Amino acid sequence: MELVKAVCGVVLVLGLWRGCPDLLGAQVTVFAAASLTESLREIASEYSRTAPDRIVFSFGGSSMLARQIEEGAPADIFFSADDAQMDRLQTKGSIDSSTRTNLLGNSLVIITASVDGAPVHRPEDLASPSVHRVALGDPRAVPIGVYAREFLARKGLWAAVSPKVVSTESVRAALAAVESGNADASIVYKTDVLISNRVKTAYAVPDADSPAIHYPAAVVKSAKNESAARAFLQYLASPDADKVFARHGFIAMHPVP
């Protein structure tokens, strides 16, 4: 075994690698919703201690990532912030539906700047004259924007708030707009507030008023490293991963069988 390692090391140095997969493992490329950034990086770091595979990420708005997968981007796993984008890929035959599972839940909050923030204490305040710009993920496609629009519509506020909406490509872009002062308020996930000391929760949306928020994950049909992707997806449903997700504010759901 030591001889095999030595040979593989020499081959790597020479740039002539052709084999020894057991030593290097596979590269698993995960396209994941931006709100998962910190938790998934921590989980991947822990996973690397026991598995040889290398986990790499492409984070962004779920709608953008789904579109990239449709166009042939090299992804092994898709981890979406809503069912709609996963449904879209499943309908097109782009994911292995047998691997699809809802891994996480989340909740919505209205945020303002932590210092000298807009006077927002309830949803109705978003419609007041003192709030000029509300940053939301694109309400037509980005999951957080779709969830926010549905919530505001349920409260009878969408017509009043929609003219103030500044659309962004992801929830993190909406968060950044409030942090920078380019928006007075936003609706983001509870988990996003935990990463910033420049915003505060002005209002936590009760579950009864919120649409159901699901984070489904699945192996992509065109995955180059299917077995490694399946192994990492299973790890994402493990108790160890659940603990990390919980520390970041997510709600763990039923694991992969």
pLDDT surpasses 50 at 14: no
For 189-201, the pLDDT digits (tens) are: 999 999 999 999 9
First to last CA, the chain: 34
What integer pLDDT is reported at residue 254 of this predicted model?
A: 60
Confidence (pTM): 0.88
Structural domains of the chain in order of their starting residue, each with its CATH number: 17-105+213-252 (3.40.190.10), 108-209 (3.40.190.10)
CA proximity to 189, closest of 166, 169, 208, 205: 205
**What one-character DSSP code corresponds to residue 32?**
E
Question: Which residues in the chain belong to E strands, given as ranges?
Answer: 27-33, 54-60, 77-79, 101-105, 108-113, 134-137, 165-168, 185-189, 199-204, 214-219, 251-252
What integer pLDDT is reported at residue 76 of this predicted model?
A: 98
